Amino acid sequence: MGGVPATATARRARPALDPRPRGVTLGRVVASEADKLTSLRSTGWLALATVAAAAATAWGLGLFARPEPGASGAPIAVAGAVLSQLGFLVLGARAGADEYRTGTARSTFAAVPRRLPVLVGQALVTTAAALVVAVLALGAAVAATAGLRAAAGLALDVTDPETARLLAGFVLHQTGVALVGLGLGALVRRPDAALVAGVLALVVLDHLLATNPGRVADTARALLPGAGARVLLDDGRLDALAAGSLGPHPGPWSGHLVLAAWAAALLAAAAYRLRRGDVT
């Protein structure tokens, strides 16, 4: 009879192919990690506190600025970096360790069995978040100190190489600190322990060694992650630091590379533990 051919029926019965990609992709992992970070109300408060700390500290220290017409006002604008870096350290430590603290790591790695894409996603999201917060913190500090700089006759010329280095160095340094926090958090899997370790490595040890100068202490200072803060020092302070050092004295960008190397090493150690150990 004049029925529909069987091949045509089979062709109509075959389900249409879904053009959307299936399975785990890095893009989906990154989107998931970004959603985890931004969905927490505490993340917004942390960012706000970090921006406020940078602006308030810069303003407070700017009150003691000496009138020096024509001098650069960039050192005042970035003066809040030491205090505000704690916020970036917390941001990274939480991104790396919160899932272990809350016990949701098992479900995360059940969905992403290869595991390493999760750490890569966390690194990308942390970098992006730190860059945004650092730019906002720098902008707030520049705005907060505008009146003080004008009263002291201090200029903020972004075409000046030293000024450009200090302003860009603020953003890059804080981003590096966040990645150090991420590496520590993913490695020790406890936000509080990661924060303590980060403060010791970035601030406490550097200051302790500075009070006991010598060849060994000065060499250790140049190799610790605190060396990354040299990118925030003006040329005069860098020259004074080099003149008083008995060990190597990396320049501002070399010091930042030391910080970057620490972040990379900690993330590599965290990746090794993630691949070789359990996820508890």
Q: For 77-111, what is each residue's pLDDT tens digit?
A: 999 999 999 999 999 999 999 988 888 888 888 88
Q: What are phi and psi of 34, to 5 degrees?
A: -65, -40
How far apart are alpha carbons 256 and 30 in whole angstroms? 26
Angle between helices 116-144 and 81-102 (to 10 degrees): 150
Amino acid at residue number 190: R
Per-residue tokens: 228: 């990354």
Question: End-to-end CA distance of the chain, in Å?
Answer: 67
Is residue 187's pLDDT more than 50?
yes
Per-residue tokens: 269: 């150690």
Average confidence (pLDDT) over 175-194: 96
Residues paired with 72 in a beta bridge:
155
Q: pLDDT, tens digit, for every residue of 14-31?
A: 554 444 445 679 899 999
Q: Choose among 179, 254, 269: nearest CA to 223.
A: 254
Top-confidence residue, 120 or 68: 120
Top-confidence residue, 133 or 155: 133
- Burial classification of residue 95, based on how many CB atoms lie within 10 Å of its CB (0-12 exposed, 13-18 middle, 19 or more buried): buried
* pLDDT band at residue 230 under the 50/70/90 scheme: very high
Is residue 136's pLDDT more than 90?
yes
What angle (nearest 5°) sits at the alpha carbon of residue 32, between those of residues 29 and 38?
140
Residues paired with 9 in a beta bridge:
none
Top-confidence residue, 41 or 194: 194
Amino acid at residue number 79: A
If you ran DSSP here, which 8-state letter would residue 201 be given? I
